Structure 1
Amino acid sequence: MSDHGEVSVVRRPGRTPSVEDGLAALLAAYHLRTEAEKGESVADVAGLPDRYRTEISDPSTAFADDVVLVALRGSTTVGCLVVTARADGRSEIKRLWTDPDFRGRGIASSLLGAALAHAAESGTGSVRLSVWKWRTGAIALYERLGFTVTESWDYRDRLLCMERAV
């Protein structure tokens, strides 16, 4: 593996074009890969459900009430994560994704750490997430960070729901 330099995690800084474009590309990769893993492969973003295309085309609007964290290497966006606005004392982590060329460097852990810190600062009592059962590496990471399997709030087949106190 080659050295990719230092990576920093920041809240999405406004409408910086390179960051917004990089975030859109990461969201597109996330959704396309997820659909393929579910056996519902689509050729490109145009084949995704409307709600996913909206996230990709205008993340600022799609996540207007949420906090979007991005991992940057210089001005290149290499990872992302969304923390939903607090509701009923909890927030939800969504859209954790790291550019495959940058995996294995602690980026997902850094994004999750920043998300948990944000949740604590905002007075959130717990954070939950859902993950596809076949994403065993992600599940192991969540477990290392204290997430445990909980009763499902999303009954899609092969989806695992996890939660942890903040």
Structure 2
Amino acid sequence: MLASDDIDRIRHLVSIVADADGEQPLNEDATLALAGDDPAVSHHLLDEAGELIGYAQSNARHGTAQLLVHPLRRRRGHGGRLLLDVAGHGVWAFGDLPGARRFATTRGLAERRRLLVMERPLEPPSGAVFEGVRPFDPASEAEQLLAVNAAAFDWHPEQAHFSRADLDARMAEDWYDPAGLLVSADADGLTGFHWTKRHPDGRGEVYILATHPRAQGTGLGRRLLAAGLEHLAATGSATVHLYVEASNARAVELYERAGFAVVHRDVLYAPDPRSSDDR
């Protein structure tokens, strides 16, 4: 577990890198993990003359890592040192910036996953009512929601492991709005949910959209999506964005039909098996 002063130093470095690159170098999971005690998470700090100049975080459960180097300390081998610290994990390049691509290719890393950021404007709220869609009841439905998530994302390296601790941590965040976590149910329990998020700058987000396999192909995903967009519009959001795996063609098609377009890409780089010696 990180000491509080180290957390502050990492956050300061993150802000410097974000200002220089125009991209946040750590995603939400990694940011929350700074103050957590997850045994699957490892932290690697790189100091020079008493100054934090680099940081890497790996997550053994996800098999991925994130790393960053101070903008004024790059091209000096520091990134390579941090990469060795997280060896065996794929490394995220948020925004897939040219410098990150060069860093990856010169070290024999190739693209393994592509995460699309899609966005669309929001129309003013219509007042539409979506039958069977209602707010989530955390007192009685938490385990059902986690079960729907696990069934819907059983193929996903990160989302499949979304736990009760993850749920509780996000519900404790300032942005959490109980009215913005919408669910649907049948006689057997929850069938799907749309968790919306409103950012401090007013942007809306399709945070998680999930339907249980028994309800897929019924139009439930479209209805939950529409209900969540209506909620975000009613809160004053003018735009909405989301993250989706490029390989998830069914979800990408759903969002395209709902008016979303790709505005950004994140890439996970990992060793290229074709470059290994199989002899």
Normalised TM-score (structure 1): 0.69
Residue 75 of structure 1, CA deviation:
6.2
Cα RMSD over matched residues? 2.6
Runs of 4+ in 1 over 2 A off after TM superposition: 27-33, 56-64, 155-158
> Conserved in 1, the CA contact under 8 Å of 2:198 and 2:204?
yes
Pairing of 1:106-145 with structure 2 (within 5 A): 106-145=219-258
The structure-2 alpha-carbon separation of the partners of 1:75 and 1:30, relative to structure 1 and needing over 3 Å to count, comes to closer
SS at structure 2 position matched to 1:157: strand
Pairing of 1:50-61 with structure 2 (within 5 A): 52-53=162-163, 56-57=164-165, 59-61=167-169
Task: Quote the residue 2:142 is aligned against.
Answer: 20
SS at structure 2 position matched to 1:124: coil
Give unmatched runs, 5+ long, in structure 2: 1-130, 270-279
2 CA distance for matches of 1:124 and 1:131? 20
Residue 118 of structure 1, CA deviation:
0.3
Give unmatched runs, 5+ long, in structure 1: 1-6, 39-44, 159-166
Larger radius of gyration between Structure 1 and Structure 2: 2
SS at structure 2 position matched to 1:146: coil
Q: Give the counterpart letter for 1:157 in structure 2.
A: L
Residue 148 of structure 1, CA deviation:
0.8
> Conserved in 2, the CA contact under 8 Å of 1:84 and 1:91?
yes
Residue among 162, 170, 187 paired with 1:62 = 170
Residue 149 of structure 1, CA deviation:
0.8
Which deviates further from its counterpart, 94-103 or 72-81?
72-81
Pairing of 1:65-76 with structure 2 (within 5 A): 65-66=176-177, 67-74=180-187, 76=189
Residue among 210, 215, 220 paired with 1:97 = 210
> Conserved in 1, the CA contact under 8 Å of 2:151 and 2:213?
no
Cα-to-partner distance string for 1:74-110 (whole Å, 9 max, x where unaligned) = 4610111211133312121122111111111111101
1 CA distance for matches of 2:217 and 2:202? 32
Cα-to-partner distance string for 1:35-70 (whole Å, 9 max, x where unaligned) = 29x9xxxxxx7xx4xxx32xx346355234142111
- Identical residues among aligned pairs (%): 28
Task: Quote the residue 2:106 is aligned against.
Answer: none
Task: Quote the residue 1:79 is aligned against.
Answer: 192
2 CA distance for matches of 1:145 and 1:108? 11
Q: Give the counterpart letter for 2:167 in structure 1.
A: P
Task: Quote the residue 1:157 is aligned against.
Answer: 268
SS at structure 1 position matched to 2:253: helix
